[in-house]
């Protein structure tokens, strides 16, 4: 009888201690809105017994929120889909410097922050997609050439407010200067098949609808179209080819951008944040990303998915990705002057 009472008493104490124990948490402010992220967050929770809370908004909105919340900001990590926004967060003294090699030693060197304020999660190329029935691949070459007269009324692209286009133009400014970028934009506007509208997938759909012949698109959108449960979208994805510009000898390579994350200075759960950063850049998570969101893995030990591999290897523009933030204000000014819309 005594033994039973002791056991019951011990179990009661254990249960009470578990109820009083604080649940481990990780708070993320994220621009990403993909199902693959939800899946990986859930897996991380189950593996580590850490509750992941996510607030979603645009990168600029999240940065302003972090600034306004100050030291009481509950967020541990900022996740964006643009290196330029991570540069902005670091430049505004919101991110804490980390030892990148302690997170992962297998990063592609051209994709990391040389100052150590952020790390990549995935990367994507801003490629040219085209209708092979209307475009001879021999006519394709560089981003710069898209402004030539042969593409008049044939080019499809998103609006100038889109971060992907702003990043691309920021890279052109870094390579050629602001004056060249303005001339390029003016000529590009004259080549538009329609006024910019919709997302990247809408540009590809417009090709199949014979509205235009070529479009500037992030590569992973083609993977999403080709793997869609919607047969119409699958047909759209299959109807176009992917071309990586600026690949010839002496050319700089195709513009890429990253989806990445930074540790916030006032993070209340730094250990959990570091654990999460290691998880998202692990071989397991990187394989999950490339096979489900069709982004390129930043971990050198992981191969791109079979859909991505179909497009072949390409030379990456090795421009320091912080330049995408450094030149962002000038890029916006150039877009406004050119009336890109």
Pairing relation of β-strands 119-130 and 214-218? antiparallel
pLDDT of the residue at 17: 37
Nearest Cα residue to 237 out of 212, 197, 214, 204 = 204
Residues near 233 by beta carbon (within 8 Å), at least 6 away in sequence: 201, 205, 225
Q: What is the mean pLDDT of residues 86-113?
A: 96
For residue range 139-149, what is the model confidence (pLDDT) as tens digits?
Answer: 999 999 999 99
- The answer on pLDDT for 331 being more than 60 is yes
Say which residue, 10 or 298, is predicted with more confidence. 298
- The answer on pLDDT for 279 being more than 50 is yes
Q: What percent of the chain has pLDDT over 90?
A: 93
- The Cα–Cα gap between 178 and 176 comes to 7
pLDDT of the residue at 23: 84
Residue 56, token pair as written in the block? 């979603």
- The answer on pLDDT for 9 being more than 90 is no
Pairing relation of β-strands 24-30 and 241-243? unpaired
- The Cα–Cα gap between 229 and 201 comes to 15
pLDDT of the residue at 12: 38
- The answer on pLDDT for 10 being more than 80 is no
- The Cα–Cα gap between 14 and 107 comes to 44
Q: Measured on CA atoms in the order 225, 191, 312, 277, is the torsion positive or negative?
A: negative
Q: What is the mean pLDDT of residues 315-322?
A: 98
- The Cα–Cα gap between 188 and 341 comes to 12
- The Cα–Cα gap between 228 and 186 comes to 35
Q: Report CA-CA distances (Å) from 292 to 27, 48, 61, 184, 306.
A: 24, 23, 27, 35, 11
Residues near 241 by beta carbon (within 8 Å), at least 6 away in sequence: 129, 130, 132, 137
Q: Which residues of 198-226 are buried (b: 16+ CB within 10 A; e: fewer)?
A: eebbbbbbbbbeeebbbbbbbbbbbbbbb
Say which residue, 17 or 212, is predicted with more confidence. 212
Q: What is the mean pLDDT of residues 169-192?
A: 98
For residue range 186-239, what is the model confidence (pLDDT) as tens digits?
Answer: 999 999 999 999 999 999 999 999 999 999 999 999 999 999 999 999 999 999
- The answer on pLDDT for 6 being more than 60 is no
Is residue 114 within 8 Å of residue 326, measured between CB atoms? no
Pairing relation of β-strands 24-30 and 50-56? parallel
pLDDT of the residue at 14: 33
Residue 218, token pair as written in the block? 């992030």
- pLDDT bin (cut points 50, 70, 90) of residue 13 is very low
Residue 119, token pair as written in the block? 């790390």
Q: What is the mean pLDDT of residues 104-125?
A: 96
pLDDT of the residue at 16: 39
Q: What is the mean pLDDT of residues 127-149?
A: 98
- The answer on pLDDT for 150 being more than 60 is yes
Q: What is the mean pLDDT of residues 67-74?
A: 97
3-state secondary structure of 197: coil
- The answer on pLDDT for 20 being more than 90 is no
What is the distance of C-alpha 118 from the center of its chain? 13
Q: What is the per-residue DSSP string for 172-189? A: HHHHH-HHHHHHHHHHHH
- pLDDT bin (cut points 50, 70, 90) of residue 248 is very high
- pLDDT bin (cut points 50, 70, 90) of residue 21 is low
End-to-end CA distance of the chain: 82
Residue 253, token pair as written in the block? 């390579």
- The answer on pLDDT for 22 being more than 90 is no
Residue 332, token pair as written in the block? 């916006």
């Amino acid at each position: 009888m005594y033994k039973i009472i002791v056991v019951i008493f011990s179990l009661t104490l254990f249960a009470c201690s578990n109820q009083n124990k604080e649940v481990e948490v990780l708070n993320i402010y994220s621009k990403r809105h993909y199902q693959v992220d939800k899946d990986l967050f859930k897996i991380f929770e189950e593996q580590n017994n850490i509750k992941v809370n996510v607030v979603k908004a645009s990168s600029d909105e999240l940065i302003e929120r972090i600034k306004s919340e100050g030291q009481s900001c509950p967020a541990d990590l900022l996740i964006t889909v643009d290196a330029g926004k991570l540069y902005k967060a670091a430049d505004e003294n919101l991110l804490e410097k980390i030892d990148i090699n302690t997170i992962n030693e297998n990063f592609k060197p051209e994709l990391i922050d040389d100052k150590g304020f952020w790390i990549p999660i995935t990367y994507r190329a801003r490629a040219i997609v085209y209708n092979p029935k209307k475009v001879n691949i021999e006519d394709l070459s560089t981003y710069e050439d898209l402004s030539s007269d042969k593409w008049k009324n044939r080019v499809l692209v998103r609006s100038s407010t889109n971060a992907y286009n702003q990043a691309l133009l920021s890279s052109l400014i870094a390579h050629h200067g602001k004056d060249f970028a303005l001339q390029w934009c003016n000529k590009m506007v004259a080549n538009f098949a329609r006024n910019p509208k919709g997302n990247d997938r809408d540009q590809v759909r417009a090709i199949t609808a014979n509205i235009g012949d070529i479009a500037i698109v992030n590569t992973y959108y083609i993977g999403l179209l080709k793997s869609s449960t919607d047969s119409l979208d699958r047909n759209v994805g299959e109807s176009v080819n992917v071309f990586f510009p600026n690949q010839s000898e002496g050319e700089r390579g195709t513009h890429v951008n990253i989806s990445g994350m930074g540790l916030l200075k006032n993070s209340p759960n730094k250990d959990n944040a570091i654990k999460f950063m290691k998880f998202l850049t692990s071989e397991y998570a990187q394989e999950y990303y490339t096979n489900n969101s069709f982004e390129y893995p930043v971990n050198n030990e992981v191969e791109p998915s079979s859909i991505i591999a179909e497009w072949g290897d390409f030379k990456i523009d090795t421009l320091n990705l912080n330049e995408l933030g450094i030149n962002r204000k000038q890029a916006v000014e150039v877009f406004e002057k050119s009336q890109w819309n």
